[in-house]
Amino acid sequence: MYFFADMSRGFATTNVPRLLGIQDTLHWINKHKGGVQGRKLRVEWADHTNDLSVAATLYERWRTKKNFIFLAVCGLRRMKPFTTGTEKTRSWCPAAA
């Protein structure tokens, strides 16, 4: 799983605990359930510093990885689904709707 968010600026107080929760959850799944279908889960994370160009660079670097699962945080409570129309991925971000 790849996770990026603002980890050092305005949303850090929300996103750092969120990342810690993701890491704890994956650790629990790996320890108590043996991963998913026998494969251990891990998260690679990055701080996009609330900069769109940094976020786009990170996404482009990660999206070619095998078994790509991407989690981005928009920081708002009310989420609306959307698709880009060019990909078969689904995202949940009100800013893009």
User: What's the CA dihedral at 59, 95, 77, 88 to 10 degrees?
Assistant: -50
Distance of alpha carbon 4 from its chain centroid, rounded?
5
The residue extents of the domains of the chain are: 2-27+40-96
pLDDT band at 79 (very low <50, low <70, confident <90, very high): very low
Q: For position 72, what pLDDT does the model report? A: 61
Reduced to 3 states, what is the DSSP secondary structure of residue 88?
coil
Q: For position 55, what pLDDT does the model report? A: 85
19-46 per-position pLDDT tens digit: 898 899 999 999 999 999 999 998 888 8
- Counting Cα atoms < 13 Å in the Cβ hemisphere of 14 gives 11
Q: How many residues does the chain have?
A: 97
Q: For position 40, what pLDDT does the model report? A: 92
Mean pLDDT throughout 57-85?
66
* Cα 26 to Cα 85: distance, rounded to the nearest angstrom: 31
Q: For position 95, what pLDDT does the model report? A: 44
Cα torsion angle, 56, 60, 65, 83, sign: positive
84 pLDDT exceeds 60?
Answer: no
